[in-house]
Structures are given as structure tokens and as C-alpha cells.
Amino acid sequence: MWPLNCAFVLLIFMICSCAAKEYRIFCQYDLGSFYYKNASQFTFMNIDERLCSYLILTTGVGVNGETGELKRKPDYLIDDDELMSTRHVLYNGKLDRIVGTIGGWGAESSEFSKLAASSTKRDRFLESVIDFIYEWGFVGVQIDWRYPTQRGGRPQDRKNFITLLKELKIRLDDYGFMLMVAVLGRTDSSTLEYYDIPNLVRHVHFVSLLFHDNREPYQSQLRYNAPLSGKHSVVESIKLWKKLGKAPGKLVMSIPLFARSYIRERRKTSVGSRSKGPGPMTPLSNKLGFMTYNEWCTQAATWTQKYDEQAKVPYAYKGDQWISYENNRSILAKIELIKSQNLGGVMPWTIDSDDFAGNCGKKHSLGRVILEAIDPKAVIVDPVTTTTPAPCPKDGLFRDPKDCQLYYGCSRGEKFEYECPFQEFFDEAKSACRPMKEVRCPSLGADWLNVRRE
């Protein structure tokens, strides 16, 4: 009877473990949305941290292909003081799992190409990345190279990219930091030439699969941002990366929250029809071929809206304009795929494109759909004020639990707050401020390390 009871308990444990599968929500946030106009302008104060497991911050940082060091993109207009202010608000008040992005569409592929080809430059890059993480209090980085071998890149990029990721992961693992990489998830033969999928997946913690391509509005056809089914679809991509990478838990599906706009030919409304080019700039986001969801939803009633039952995505048209976007129905279909394929999570791209102000309903309406589909038990409620314990139970010097640069002294129950100099952390063992690299900071890597042990 005893062995049978043990087997029954083990079976129950296994069932509960499967049911407890965690799907993470990596919220991509583009700091450049601060420069959108009026109702589309987004700042860190608009973030609802309850909708995110991690915040992926597009910082406007690229690479210097001549030296290997990181550099601020000159057209990004976010200065150090502004980013530092953002970091303190997010890190101390809203969300403490923040990942900084290096690269993006505005970063030149040729610069990554030159960096990846040189061992000396890669060494400088690794040191620069570690400094970058410590400086802003991130738990890791996302490398967003658009794209290896393309846009000024070279054929050797495919191999050199793997070398770069392998060396970077080794260094980040030493510090307990996370490494993500954003890739184009399309399955056409030309895109597949960009990546050595098995080795890429092996040398990172998470892979963000993007299905939108900023080059598309300038091509000759109307295209969906992220069709779930059909040729070169999300389903095809997931199956391919899962088969070749053999690590579905590392794969993260991006869901574009913005609308991609085109100029269509007269009487042509179906996907694949000839396009005359990108849609016009809108007054708020001021980008060709682009519209935030909060711009779109306020005028949706004046457009003809359709839903493609095969691709499982909506589209709409008005006059000579045609757009591809996501809605509740298409998002739910994508989350269902994430769960059926046991992926690592989802990446809303980007949360600043959502209806964050609630102009068309609830605030962050698409983000709420994602959260509720990922975790049906999740309920968004206003935070409840709780009583915190006394800050000074005993005399001594203590590090702030959320920011290693801060510490406080206690004397007879009275608290005195202090801050270490720039790029130093408080070392409790030595009761002194010391260089960041020489001090283990639990608040930077603890949550991520706990996730890795799950």
C-alpha cells in the first residue's frame, strides 16, 4: 500500500507542477514615444507594472563598430539625466526587473558587423555592456541587431553573431544577468540566412521572435504584421524555431500593438494586393506607415473593419489607406498558441502603442487582454496600502533592499539615509561603498536568478 500511496502523491505533484507553468510577459517600451504628440505621448508614469513580468527598455543605445563600445544614437534625444531619472522611478517605485536594449531599427547593422568580426572589439563590448547594466540598474540586456548580413552587413555576420552571443552569455552568467536577443521570426529563405538557429538559441536565455519588419511598407504588397496561420506565419515560425532550437521555453512571441499602414490601389482591399507605399504620417506619432493603437482606436468607427479567419488577424481600410493591426480576438488566438507550444512567454511590442490612457475603454486595453489570457486568475485592482515594519529594528548600517547604491544607518530607532558615489554600491560586509563590479547586488540579479532556477 505504501508504494502505491507514494506513486499517487508523485502523480499529484507532477500534475500540479504542469499546471503551475509560468508564462512571462516581457513589456517592450520605446523611450522615443516620449516625443509623440498629445494623446500619444507616453512617459514612464503611464506604465502599469501589473501587466508586466519584465520591462524591456529601448534606450537608444547602439554600438560603435570602430571601438566595440556602446554609444548613444544621436537622433534619439534621450540624454543621460533623463534616462537616469527614468531608471530611478522604475527601479524603486514600479518595476525592478528591467532589461536594457542594445540596437534596434535605428542602429546601423554595419556597426554590429564590424564589432562582431573582431575579438578585440568584442572584448571591449563585453566590458561596456557590464558597465551599462550596472549604471542603469538593469537585470540584463536584449541584443537587437537588425539584421545580420543585411543593411550594410556581411555574409560572415551569421557566424560572427553566434561568437558574440556565446562570449556575452558567458560574461553575463558570471554576474547573474539575463541575455535576450530579438530576431526576425519570418520563415522565408532569405530571412533564415540571417541566423544559425540551433546555436543562437543555445547561447541566450530568451529569444524574442519578431514578426513585423519595418521594411515592409516600402515593398509592393499589403502585408499583415503578424498573421497567425498561412504562409510565413507565426505558427510556421514557432514550429521551426522550436524544432531547430529544441528549447521552446526560451522562445518569446512578440505581438505588435501598433498598426502598420499602407496606401492601397483602388478597389483592392485584400492582403497581398498591390501597395503604393507606406501610409501617411499621423499628426501624433509622425511616422510613415505607422499608427499607434491609441490613435487607431479613436477613429476605428469610421473605417471598414474585417477579420481574416485563416490568418486570424484583423485589417481595415478607409479611402486609399489600409492597415494591419491586432485586436482582442487575434491576441487571444496568439496566446493560445503560446500555451499549446509551451513557449517562454509573450512580448507586447510596444506598450506605449497601446490605449494606455483608456480613450477607447479600459486603460492598457490590449495589455489587459494579454495578461488575462496568460493568467486567467489575474485580477487588476488598485494596490492596497499595508503597514510596513519599523525600518530600524537594530543599530547599524544597512543596504537598501531595492537599490544597492543607497544605504541607511540606524541609531536608537532613528533612521538616517545615505547614497554611495556614482558607480559604487554599498557593501554590507565591509560597511562601506565600493566599486559596483566588486559588490554583489542581490536586487539586480536575485529575481532573475530565482527565475532561472525554476
Domains, the chain, ranges and CATH? 20-255+327-374 (3.20.20.80), 396-443 (no CATH)
pLDDT value, residue 441:
82
Give pLDDT, residue 453: 46
Q: What is the pLDDT of residues 72-87, one digit of tens each?
A: 765 554 555 455 455 5
Please name every residue paired with 215 in a beta bridge, in sequence order, or none if there are none: none
Name the H helices within 286-327. Answer: 293-297
Please state the rounded mean pLDDT for residues 136-149: 94
pTM score: 0.81
The whole-angstrom distance between residue 104's C-alpha and the CA centroid of its chain comes to 11
Please report the pLDDT score of residue 137 as a whole number: 84
What's the confidence (pLDDT) of residue 410? 83
Residue carrying C-alpha cell 491609441: 294
Position 4 pLDDT exceeds 70: no
Indicate whether 387 pLDDT > 90. no
Measured between alpha carbons, how far is 55 from 50 in angstroms, rounded to an integer? Answer: 11
In order of 52, 88, 368, the CA distances from 177 in angstroms are 19, 19, 28
pLDDT tens digit sequence for 156-178: 999 999 999 999 999 999 999 99
pLDDT recorded at residue 334? 98
How many CB atoms lie under 10 A from the CB of residue 105?
Answer: 11
Q: Which residues pair with 349 in a beta bridge?
A: 28, 256
Amino acid at 382: D
pLDDT bracket for residue 1 (50, 70, 90): very low
> Beta 432-435 vs 290-291: how paired, if at all?
unpaired
Residue 381 has pLDDT above 70, yes or no: no
